[in-house]
Structure 1
């Protein structure tokens, strides 16, 4: 871990606080109120990564396999995922999202993008330029 100066430590703290507040506000911009944030995240992971076994989803979402089994059951009951036999191992299943789930995700992204764009409309040109430049760096941090 690099050695941080006092001003670097303050910047890290400010970044953490701002990202957490913004994330919380973005999560409140929901299309489907009956889905928990965890359920939405599982659907987003399926959309991003494609079909996966329950074990793979549990690892990607950093939850225990029994918890993922319950989440999948809830999503299946709502018609948002389907279980199919694993192509290589018939003892396992593969989970994939349905068209309804994809529609909810697309609507949710559009709503959140519109909300964020409205907020960004209140920035100065200089602030917006800085934010555009910082977006790839924030994406990289999110992937580490």
Structure 2
């Protein structure tokens, strides 16, 4: 496998594992819900348009999703402190607890699939996870500063 194939394989495998975990756990919440809660937890309050762009969905679709999350008490909409005409969305304590519980469920559901890995395999996965986390953090820093690549 060449280098660009490895990156693609990692990303696609990650998506597949997410679907498997949701199916195995019987979690019927849409993946978009967890993406939005994760984005809000990591980046803080955001406008609906910014959330839609980050989650790669339409603004009307994000507005509908946010409405459901708000009804469930997972997010809260409020006026943007920098522009009173705009609305920002933030995660609530209930939303933070929900995403935390989902991550535990996700880990516990997938753990048996990896139980037979050797120490060397775990070391390789750990290093891959570190590299991916660094690249994701690097991308977030570029987004915040407005730098282009």
Scaled to the shorter chain, the TM-score interval is 0.7 to 0.9
**Greater radius of gyration (CA):** 1
Aligned to 1:3: none
Unmatched runs of 5 consecutive residues or more in structure 1: 1-6
Normalized per residue, the structure richer in strand is 2
CA distance in 1, matches of 2:93, 2:26: 16
Cα distance change, pair 69–116 in 1 and its aligned pair in 2 (3 A): same
Partner of 1:48: 42
CA distance in 1, matches of 2:35, 2:105: 16
1:66 aligns with 2:26: no
Deviation at 1:110, TM superposition (A): 1.3
Q: Which residue of 1 aligns with 2:20?
A: 25
TM-score, structure 1 normalization: 0.77
| CA-to-aligned-CA distance 1:87-128 (integer Å, 9 cap, x gap) | 121111111111111111111111222334443321112222
Q: CA RMSD in A?
A: 2.6
User: 1:36 is matched with which residue?
Assistant: 30
TM-score (norm 2): 0.75
Cα displacement (A) at 1:136: 1.7
Gaps of 5+ in 2: 140-149
Pairing 1:85-124 to 2, within 5 Å after superposition: 85-124=79-118
SS of equivalent to 1:28: helix
Shift of 1:20: 4.0
Deviations 1:11-33 (A, max 9, x none): 53754653343232133355863
Measure how far apart 1:69 and its partner are.
Answer: 1.1
